[in-house]
Amino acid sequence: MEIKNVTAIWILSCNDSIPQITYQGIGERINGISEEEVKNIVRQFPELFQEEIPTKQLDHWKSSMSQGLNRPKWIAKSSSQEEDIKNLKTSDLFRNRFRNSIDAQPVSYNLIEWGINYINEYFNKKERNKNKTWQRIGTIVLPLISLLIAGYSIQNSSSLQLESMKIEKLKLNREIIIPEYKKFVSSFFKTMEKFDANRHIPITKEMIQTQRALSELAPYIDSSDHKKILVDFSRYFHLIQSNQNTDSLKLEQKDSIVEAYLSVEQKVRKAVSKNINAK
């Protein structure tokens, strides 16, 4: 999976005149990428893309294409266009996470920039982790082996040594994780605070800072929990974007935003607590 392909798919999904995209269509537009790789990218980045589309949206698009409108290039140049349109299934398509309606417009430049920064940070962190592999073997694994050998040699003190290791791990977790968690809470709160104070002022900067803080917490959160947090974070961001510049919000709109905010905050807190209290 290459960064240039992920970025290209992100930008296409942001700017296309229609929000839904076929996996096959991406293969026609990006050189050297297979349909399977496109599916893998969409699957790996649920915070950016949504796998499949609702049946209602697909039916609406099929109706439009049957009238000769909005046909992707691979269908437009096919010798069996009507058959290709008829055979399309919801699993043959995906869409940008922030374009959830049938007539969704291309996203803002600020959101495109946020996505590009997110992708860059993802691959940079992946590279940093790769380079740290041997360092971790030297600084973590080998000392651990030495401790185990020592513990085996001194059987009478093994239980006391194990308890000491647990205490040190608990202390280390709290010293590292809690400051990172505080940074996230602070930046995340600012998104809601600024939005509530004036909905006409963009909060993209605060959202990017929150995303970065969340990325710094990622190594201390279980991967399954992290994916769930990113899905809720994307939903919260989308709700904020959708209601930007709105003079007044209906009660249900306010409730949806607050609910999304609290869901993210709660999931992060629980995920972090697992490691803070781990022994």
**pLDDT tens digits for range 126-154:** 877 766 654 554 554 445 444 444 444 44
- The two tokens of residue 134 are 């041997």
Would you put residue 32 in left (φ > 0), alpha (ψ -120 to 50) or beta? left
- The two tokens of residue 69 are 């409108």
Q: How confident is the model at residue 155 (pLDDT cuts 50, 70, 90)?
A: very low
Q: How many CA atoms lie within 13 A of 38 on its CB side?
A: 27
> Long-range pairs for 267-270 at CB < 8 Å and ≥24 separation?
267/225, 267/228, 267/229, 267/232, 268/181, 268/184, 268/214, 268/217, 268/221, 268/229, 269/181, 270/225
The predicted structure's pLDDT at residue 142: 46
Name the CATH superfamily, with its identifier, for domain 162-276: Nucleotidyltransferases  domain 2 (1.20.120.330)
Would the pLDDT of 21 be above 80? yes
Q: Are 121 and 215 in contact (CB under 8 A)?
A: yes
Give residue-wise pLDDT tens across range 238-269. 888 777 777 777 777 878 888 888 898 888 88
Q: Which of 109-118, 143-152, 172-181 has the lowest mean pLDDT?
A: 143-152
Domain residue ranges of the chain, discontinuous segments joined by +: 3-108, 162-276
pLDDT average, residue stretch 181-192? 84
Give the number of other CB atoms < 10 A from CB of residue 175: 9
Q: Are 27 and 35 in contact (CB under 8 A)?
A: yes
The predicted structure's pLDDT at residue 95: 93
Q: How confident is the model at residue 84 (pLDDT cuts 50, 70, 90)?
A: very high
Considering only residues 65 and 152, tell me which one the structure prediction assigns the higher pLDDT: 65
Number of H helices, E strands in the chain: 13, 3
